[in-house]
Structure 1
Amino acid sequence: MTTRAGGVSVGGYESLNLGRAVADDPAAVTENRRRVAQAVGASPVFLKQVHGSTVLRLEPTHVAADADPPPADASISTDPSIACAVMVADCLPVLFAAPGAVGAAHAGWRGLAGGVLDHTVAALCEAAGTDPRSIHAWMGACIGPEAFEVGADVLQAFEVDAVHRDQPLFRFQPNEAGEPRWRADLAGLARRRLQRLGLVPAAITGGGWCTFSQPSRFFSFRHERVDGRRSGRMAAVIRLR
């Protein structure tokens, strides 16, 4: 997973911004993406992410100069020359490795509740001819449970009863106006979902970094809303050897 370091962007996008839709200099973004591709040793396919659950199986056509892939929030690859990539700036990136295939999923709360991890694991199992017990998952940096304030709509999306306020992954904490709010553990929710999908608990790692609390290291969309500073996008990338 990338951080802010190692690129050529300036200002609020300093320095390795990979997002093209955040008003950064397009030439700087192109150079930043080139550096990531060089470091990975393959061509990353950056998706049109819409907080959904569609999984795209990557093909050589997706790395062509004029490629226009359909919207998706996850991808899988069985080609060592094509890397899976998801961009984030608070949402949780999850990378997957299976015998003969890799995958990446963009798991914000909407995608997570909508089944993006479920669909990615299913697509990976089909492509690799395996089952979830042979899959390894790694969770990158996302907004942490001390900073991720959510409302009752998020609890409802995960079928959690807001009346019962003592939840292991949703800590009740009203805001300054006294309105009901919770602190959500996004990585914890993903870990629970992956275990329910059949992944071995020991094969699920990562998820210990908070993008919001480390603004000098990570881009954070929510931090941008709090202090008004522009924010870039990071990426989690994986390729098959």
Structure 2
Amino acid sequence: MTLGSPLLSAIPGLRHGFFTRDGGVSGGIYESLNGGIGSNDDPGHVAENRRRMAQQMGVSPEHFLGVWQVHSPDAVVATGPWPGRSRPRADAMVTRTEGLAIGVTAADCGPILLVDPRARVIGAAHAGWKGALTGVLESTIDAMEQLGAERAGIVAAIGPLIRQNSYEVGAEFVDRFTLADAANAPFFIPSSREKHAMFDLAGFIRMRLENAGVLMIDDVGIDTYSDQRFFSYRRSVHRKEPDYGRHVHAIVLEHE
């Protein structure tokens, strides 16, 4: 049901997981462990899937937190369950509260899990191309530092995401990145189609982390588009499916 990062798995008092699509109750295009509250799946199925994920993370469902993701650069601090049914609009969370699992949903975008083992501060970021370009990783690191972390001590893991050989983009996409910084050009290689290129999202994420001072980085190396164990937004579009499932990728500090 989950995959792990060797770097994060070696840290005591920490639990994490990059969940696959296996082990849930959803059917059809959502088969089976769909955690997407924003999908059109049966809400009861999504709730049961999230309960199972919370159980695997060792927390109660109300301590299995997510945010309302909007492809922003914004990170929020979590200290306990969100009040009522509200979820803050953001794309990353950080906490130093033990027993509080923070997770992001993704279906091609990059899930990034972070921890400073010494300060016992964790973070989870949803880094699609827009969030990565506009600073969600830097915001997450800044928010972790506000809780006592030091960026030189942070360990990060890049989870399953769409990889370069599956991620074709148009010329305007390339222009957006190269106009922002000419140093972004190496993350694109020519496509077989004219005026198109293949984008290395994972490499771009790693570069942003390294430039922000995070040097201990793991990458599970999995392509969500080509690996059928994972939901993929782009694959669903190519198959002309009406919707797609979402994965949850989460991290929690265990009680000492």
Query: Normalization by structure 1: what TM-score?
Result: 0.90
Answer whether contact 2:121 2:149 (CA < 8 A) is retained.
no
Residues in 2 aligned to 1:161 and 1:27: alpha-carbon distance in whole angstroms: 43
CA shift for structure 1 position 152: 2.9
In the alignment, which residue of structure 1 is the partner of 2:44? 27
Match among 199, 215, 218 for residue 184 of structure 1: 199
Task: Sort the Cα spacing of 1:91 and 1:219 in 2 relative to 1 into closer, same or farther, 3 A.
Answer: same
Partner-residue secondary structure (3-state), 2:53: helix
Q: Say if 1:92 and 1:141, in contact at 8 Å, map to a contact too.
A: yes
Q: Deviations over 1:121-154 (max 9, x none)?
A: 1111121x23211000000000010011112333
Q: Which residue of 2 aligns with 1:2?
A: 19
CA–CA distance in structure 2, aligned partners of residues 232 and 59 of structure 1: 28
> Displacement, 1:100?
1.5
**What is the number of equivalent residue pairs in this alignment?**
230
Percent of aligned pairs sharing the same letter: 37
Residue in structure 1 matched with residue 247 of structure 2 by the alignment: 234
95, 98, 103: which one pairs with 2:113?
95
What CA distance in whole angstroms lies between the structure 1 residues aligned with 2:149 and 2:29? Answer: 44
Q: Distance in 2 between matches of 1:95 and 1:53?
A: 16
Does residue 56 of structure 2 align to residue 59 of structure 1? no
* Structure-1 residue corresponding to 2:237: 225
Gaps of 5+ in 2: 1-17
Say which SS state the counterpart of residue 35 (structure 1) adopts: helix
In the other structure, the counterpart of 1:154 is: 173
Instruction: Return closer, same or farther for 1:15/1:158 CA change in 2, 3 Å cut-off.
Output: same
Deviation digits for residues 25-77 of structure 1, max 9, x if unmatched?
11110000000100001222111000001101012241x5x231220000001
**Deviations along 1:137-182, whole A, 9 cap, x unmatched?**
00000001001111233333333599x9x9431102252xx3x111
Deviates more, 1:137-146 or 1:77-86: 77-86
CA distance in 2: counterparts of 1:61 and 1:83, whole angstroms: 10
Separation in 2 of the partners of 1:68 and 1:157?
33
1:105 aligned to 103, 114, 125, which one? Answer: 125
What is the TM-score with the length of structure 2 in the denominator? 0.85
What is the CA–CA distance in structure 2 between the aligned matches of 1:119 and 1:207, rounded to whole Å?
Answer: 23
Q: Which residue of 2 aligns with 1:69?
A: 87
Cα separation, 1, equivalents of 2:39 and 2:87: 20
- Tell me the amino acid that sits aligned with residue 186 of structure 1: L
Partner secondary structure for residue 79 of structure 1: coil
Give structure 1 regions of 4+ aligned residues with deviation exceeding 6 angstroms: none
Unaligned runs of 5+ in 1: none
What's 2:135 paired with?
115
1:78 lines up with 2:96 in the alignment: yes
- Structure 2 CA distance, aligned partners of 1:161 and 1:190? 15
* Distance change (3 Å), C-alpha of 1:188 and 1:30: same
Q: Supply the RMSD in Å over aligned alpha carbons.
A: 1.9
Q: Are residue 14 (structure 1) and residue 31 (structure 2) matched?
A: yes
